[in-house]
């Protein structure tokens, strides 16, 4: 058996659910209302017959009872002597036998229901009595000189049943009307609430890769719809920025790759067309240099691509950061550049050794390219962080460019260009490696060093989530 499914669309689903809930609530409310109404009407009749029975019993005790009892509020009454003979009654049941053969002790009141006004329990043939059945009977025992008399007061429950019978059709008509009104109001309110969403959908469909500058109108209401529009616009801002970076990255990468590829192609064409014997050793050295440059550029691009996708995998091992930096500095024997390694202190870390070596190489390479002739390097531990400091005596970095230099393919003007050949990715790669380890890298002002000062802070334990 297939399960019932809701209609498509939030508006229709909300209306159907609201209609079901309203219907159930009204039906349950109607049942409870009918039950309470019946109980209240029955309780009111019980109060009337009980009070009337006790009043007549008082007359019996005091000897003030007459043979005809006045009828009060549609009740009938009888007084039955100890032998079972009716000695007084209201005019509507005058001359009839005792309503009930039940007896109670003096001073006791008992309530009971009867199907007919007949002590034998058989239905009376009178038409009026048939219409008024069933009955609520109050019996009170009244002590007199020759025994205990039974005072019986009868009230018809037919009035209660007629009131309920009148109420049920009214509710049967009213409930569907209320359900329809509720469904109509729900349909209208949900439609009004979702109108801005429809507008947002139409605007979002018009936003393409070529039109990422468009934004969704934010409604004036202070509700979830406004929050949704603001969230979508924030997402579009990030998407536009990301696409712009990707386009710029692809453009810059294409430009950077074009140079070594063109050089290799030129060398090959020269070698192919040369009539004279070329110097193979020199030719191979030139080709190898361009190939290494190309390989380095591709490796840097791959690192940045993995960092963008948050797929930077780290192979952590324990090692001395100072020793690693000393090794890298020793491998960079460049004429006219001296390294001051006196600030290297033993710094045990648990990080990716290969990436840390690449970080040190990029920072040292950057310093060598822009130094006036001297490079200072320090390592140590401070406030739970391992730090690496690389400084030079070059022209320094302007305050307004200290964030830009960590972007991809960014090169400052010729004032910081001493040695050519950089890809423009070294500092961007360094930042990606540092952030993958949960650290920070920044440019500082330090009176101890005349040029640019780069400082890396890395947590001794733990790193970025997911690494």
Same domain, 139 and 84: yes
DSSP 276-339: SPP-HHHHHHHHHHHHHHHHHHHHHHHHHHHHHTT-----EEEEEHHHHHHHHHHT---TT-EE
Query: Is residue 72 within 8 Å of 90, Cβ to Cβ?
Result: no
- The per-residue pLDDT for 253 is 67
The answer to whether the beta carbons of residues 22 and 181 sit under 8 Å apart is: no
* Number of alpha carbons in the 13 Å side-chain half-sphere of residue 330: 6
Tell me which DSSP letter residue 404 carries: G
Backbone region of residue 320 per phi and psi (left: phi > 0; alpha: psi in -120 to 50; beta: other values) = beta
Beta bridge partners of 392: 375
Domain edge (last residue) among 261, 291, 308 = 308
CATH number at residue 263: 1.10.287.130
Whether 212 is in a domain gets the answer no
d(CA 375, CA 368): 7
Both structure tokens of 205: 């469909």
Same domain, 246 and 323: no
Q: What is the pLDDT of residue 3?
A: 60
Classify residue 211: in a domain, yes or no: no
391, 446 Cβ separation under 8 angstroms:
yes
- 289/327 same-domain check: no
Check: CB of residue 423 under 8 Å from CB of residue 256.
yes
List of residues 6+ apart from 248 with CB closer than 8 A = 408
Can you tell me the distance from the alpha carbon of 226 to that of 44, in angstroms, rounded to the nearest whole number?
A: 57
Q: Are 384 and 459 in contact (CB under 8 A)?
A: yes
Residue 201 in domain:
no
Whether 370 and 251 share a structural domain: no
Cα–Cα–Cα angle for 284, 286, 292, rounded to 5 degrees: 100
- Range of 322's domain? 316-459
Confidence at residue 311, expressed as pLDDT on a 0 to 100 scale: 63
146 within domain boundaries: yes
Give the number of domains in the chain: 3
- In angstroms, rounded to a whole number, what is the distance separating the alpha carbons of residues 362 and 351? 17
Distances (CA, A) of 115 to 137, 154, 185, 216, 413: 10, 11, 48, 75, 111
3-class secondary structure, 339: strand
CA distance linking residue 253 with residue 261, whole number of Å:
12
Specify whether the CB–CB gap between 344 and 419 falls below 8 A: no
Residue where one domain finishes, among candidates 132, 162, 192: 162
pLDDT for the residue 293: 66
Give a yes or no: residue 293 inside a domain: yes
Q: Are residues 158 and 76 in the same domain?
A: yes
Please state whether the predicted TM-score (pTM) of the whole model is above 0.75.
no
Q: Are strands 338-344 and 374-382 parallel, antiparallel or unpaired?
A: parallel
CATH number at residue 432: 3.30.565.10
Same domain (yes/no): 267, 336: no
Whether residue 199 is contained in a domain is answered as no
- CA-based end-to-end distance of the chain: 50
Residue with tokens 């009070």: 51
Q: 110 and 79 in one domain?
A: yes
Segment (H or E) for 258: helix 224-273
CA torsion angle 225 231 234 235 (round to 10): -120
Tell whether 375 and 263 lie within a shared domain. no
Main-chain phi, psi angles of 267, to 5 degrees: -60, -40
Nearest of 164, 159, 162, 114 to residue 136 by alpha carbon: 114
Over its length of 467 residues, how does the chain's per-residue pLDDT go in tens digits?
A: 556 666 677 888 888 898 999 999 999 999 999 999 999 999 999 999 999 999 999 998 888 888 888 887 778 899 999 988 999 999 888 888 888 888 999 989 999 988 876 655 454 444 444 577 788 999 999 988 788 999 999 988 888 888 899 999 999 999 999 999 999 998 888 888 778 887 888 888 888 777 778 888 888 777 788 888 888 888 888 888 877 777 776 766 666 666 667 767 777 776 666 655 566 666 676 677 667 667 766 777 777 766 666 666 788 999 999 999 999 998 887 878 899 999 999 999 999 998 899 899 899 988 998 888 899 999 999 988 999 999 999 888 888 888 888 887 766 654 344 344 556 778 888 898 999 899 999 999 888 888 899 999 999 864 333 33
Same domain, 256 and 328: no
Q: Which residues pair with 391 in a beta bridge?
A: 376, 453
- 299 and 333 both lie in a single domain: no
Return the C-alpha torsion angle 370, 372, 376, 382, nearest 10. -60
> Residue 144, SS3?
strand
Are 374 and 338 a contacting pair, CB within 8 Å? Answer: yes
Distances (CA, A) of 304 to 118, 253, 297, 322, 425: 103, 12, 11, 26, 9
Residue 27 belongs to domain with CATH number: 3.30.450
- Which residues share a beta bridge with 459? 385
Q: Do residue 320 and residue 250 come from a single domain?
A: no
Q: Domain for residue 440, yes or no? A: yes
Q: Name the domain boundary from 260, 276, 308.
A: 308
Is the domain of 393 the same as that of 444? Answer: yes
The helix (H) or strand (E) run that includes residue 71 is none
């Amino acid at each position: 058996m297939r399960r019932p499914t809701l209609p498509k669309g939030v508006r229709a689903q909300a209306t159907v659910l609201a209609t079901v809930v309203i219907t159930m609530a009204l039906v349950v409310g109607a049942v409870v209302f009918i039950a309470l109404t019946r109980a209240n009407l029955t309780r009111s009749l019980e109060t009337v017959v009980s009070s009337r029975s006790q009043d007549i019993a008082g007359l019996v005790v005091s000897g003030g009872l007459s043979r005809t009892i006045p009828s009060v509020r549609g009740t009938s009454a009888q007084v039955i002597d100890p032998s079972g003979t009716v000695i007084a009654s209201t005019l509507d049941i005058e001359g009839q036998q005792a309503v009930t053969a039940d007896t109670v002790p003096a001073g006791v009141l008992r309530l009971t229901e009867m199907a007919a006004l007949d002590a034998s329990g058989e239905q009376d043939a009178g038409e009026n009595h048939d219409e008024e059945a069933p009955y609520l009977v109050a019996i009170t025992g009244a002590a007199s000189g020759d025994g205990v008399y039974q005072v019986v007061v009868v009230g018809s429950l037919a009035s209660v049943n007629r009131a309920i019978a009148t109420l049920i059709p009214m509710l049967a008509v009213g409930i569907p009307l209320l359900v329809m009104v509720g469904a109509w109001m729900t349909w209208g309110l949900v439609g009004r609430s979702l109108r801005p969403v429809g507008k947002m959908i139409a605007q979002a469909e018009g936003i393409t890769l070529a039109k990422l500058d468009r934004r969704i109108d934010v409604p004036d209401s202070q509700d979830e719809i406004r929050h949704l529009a603001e969230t979508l616009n924030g997402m579009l801002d990030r998407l536009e920025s990301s696409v712009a970076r990707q386009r710029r990255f692809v453009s810059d990468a294409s430009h950077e790759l074009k140079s070594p590829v063109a050089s290799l192609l030129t060398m090959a064409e020269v070698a192919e067309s040369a009539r004279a014997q070329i110097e193979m050793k020199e030719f191979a050295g030139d080709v190898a240099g361009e190939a290494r440059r190309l390989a380095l550029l591709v490796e840097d691009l791959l690192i940045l691509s993995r960092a963008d996708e948050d797929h930077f995998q780290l192979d952590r091992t324990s090692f001395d950061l100072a020793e690693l930096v000393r090794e890298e500095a020793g491998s960079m024997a460049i004429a006219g550049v001296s390294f001051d390694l006196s600030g290297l202190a033993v710094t045990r870390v648990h990080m990716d050794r290969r990436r840390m070596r690449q970080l040190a190489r990029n920072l040292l390479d950057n310093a060598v390219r822009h130094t006036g002739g001297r490079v200072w390097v320090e390592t140590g531990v401070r406030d739970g962080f391992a730090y690496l400091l690389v400084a030079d005596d070059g022209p320094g970095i302007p305050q307004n460019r200290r964030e830009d230099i960590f972007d991809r393919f960014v090169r400052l003007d010729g004032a910081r260009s001493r040695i050519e050949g950089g890809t423009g990715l070294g500092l961007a790669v360094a930042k990606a490696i540092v952030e993958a380890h949960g650290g920070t890298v920044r440019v500082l002002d330090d009176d101890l060093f005349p040029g640019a000062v780069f400082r890396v802070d890395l947590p001794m334990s733990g790193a970025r989530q997911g690494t």
